[in-house]
Amino acid sequence: MKKYSVNIEDLLQDGFSHKFATYYLSLVEKEINNPYYDAEYVKWAHENGFLAENAYAYKLTPENMHLYLSDYEYYKAWPINNWTRLWVDDKMTLKQMLSTAECAQYMPSYYFYSYKNPNGTSQIYSLWDAPYKENTIDSFFRTLHEVRIFACKPCNGTASQGFFILEYKDSKYFVNGQEVVESGICMFVQEHPNYLFTEFLSPSSSLASIYPTIHTIRIVVANKDLKPQILGGYLRFSNNKSGDANYIVIDKNNPEALNVFVDVDFNKGTYGPGKLTYIDRAEIAYKHPDTQQALSGTLPDFDQLIDLIQKVCKKFSTIEYMGFDIGHTDNGYKIMEINTHPGIKYMQIFKPLLDNEITKSFYQDKCKK
């Protein structure tokens, strides 16, 4: 059986892009000497092309390993898509591309974008949905006073990294719940260039009963010949340890954290049960750990969700592989972002990708380089 290298020269020679060779090795190195992992198991996982955190979540063994797509092979496959992936990887471009009559309803409101000029000064730009069109901090504050809350995220970020909430409540300003003065908001904008300030999404009532902040419905799609096919996905909820973002990185610096994932049947629109993922395991869960609400049910307006997937995939007919992050609100389904190389770990904790003929055929074809 092939033993996988953790040397960058070997990875590049084997077909990795420099970007993903560097990224993969950074993840491997973080796991070495992790006190929460068994050193021999880490070594075995890496030699077989798996990150240890994923191997623990899968309960990976020599006997079941053939059912799971390895991290090595998946990262090596990038890019699966051609250059048009840039249309969705950048959130500003995504908003523009979906501003057509049939798709605009699926995007949240975009208010402002922050930019750092070459001379080091910061600039704020008003976007499509800002009620005040001047590119000034005054327009920024006037809009915040009206809408009361902004979601703030990097224009090119993923996995809830760098997510903040700006809020104006009772004539006071808050950043992630911490009160600041007006100049503190100005400082935040200056210190966060390439950020979008958008509508803050709240979940519809049925999913808010499980947890009151916005969830994520991840849907991974093979989009070929105008016949999009859902390969898998899941539903993800926030919890008391993850805060307002519904995902938190769990590592040796944050070992007590957990994430809440729920299996979804995209043929029927039903979900459940769930799994709680920890630093070294994934445990089945039938109730949310904080609210004790059942992690099972039917996605609201499921036909509208499938309609969204069909319309957006038609719009991006040149992009063959996408991972949608979607939330359901009182105003329908909203796209938070689309990834063109979405993670595979949380799909595989429910359904190993090589244990199904459809997903096995797709991924083996894309990973054969």
Structure tokens at 258: 């957990």
* Residue where the block lists tokens 């104006």: 168
d(Cα 219, Cα 118) in Å, to the nearest integer? Answer: 39
Could you give the dihedral angle defined by the CA atoms of residues 168, 174, 176 and 178, in that order, rounded to the nearest 10 degrees?
A: -150
CB of 53 closer than 8 Å to CB of 41: no
d(Cα 288, Cα 284) in Å, to the nearest integer? Answer: 11
Would you tell me how many other CB atoms lie within 10 Å of the CB of residue 324?
26
pTM equals: 0.95
The CATH code that applies to domain 83-105+204-366 is 3.30.470.20
Predicted local distance difference test score (pLDDT) of residue 159: 53
CB of 352 closer than 8 Å to CB of 264: no
What is the DSSP track for 21-62?
HHHHHHHHHHHTT-TTS-HHHHHHHHHTT--HHHHHHHT--T
The pLDDT profile of the chain, 369 residues, written as one tens digit per residue, is: 677 888 999 999 999 999 999 999 999 999 998 999 999 999 999 999 999 999 999 999 999 999 999 999 999 999 999 999 999 999 999 999 999 999 999 999 999 999 988 888 889 999 999 999 999 999 999 999 999 999 999 998 655 578 899 999 999 999 999 999 999 999 999 999 999 999 999 999 999 999 999 999 999 999 998 899 999 999 999 999 987 778 998 988 889 999 999 999 999 999 999 999 999 999 999 999 999 999 999 999 999 999 999 999 999 999 999 999 999 999 999 999 999 999 999 999 999 999 999 999 999 999 986
Domain boundaries of the chain, sorted by first residue: 8-76, 83-105+204-366, 109-199
Predicted local distance difference test score (pLDDT) of residue 1: 62
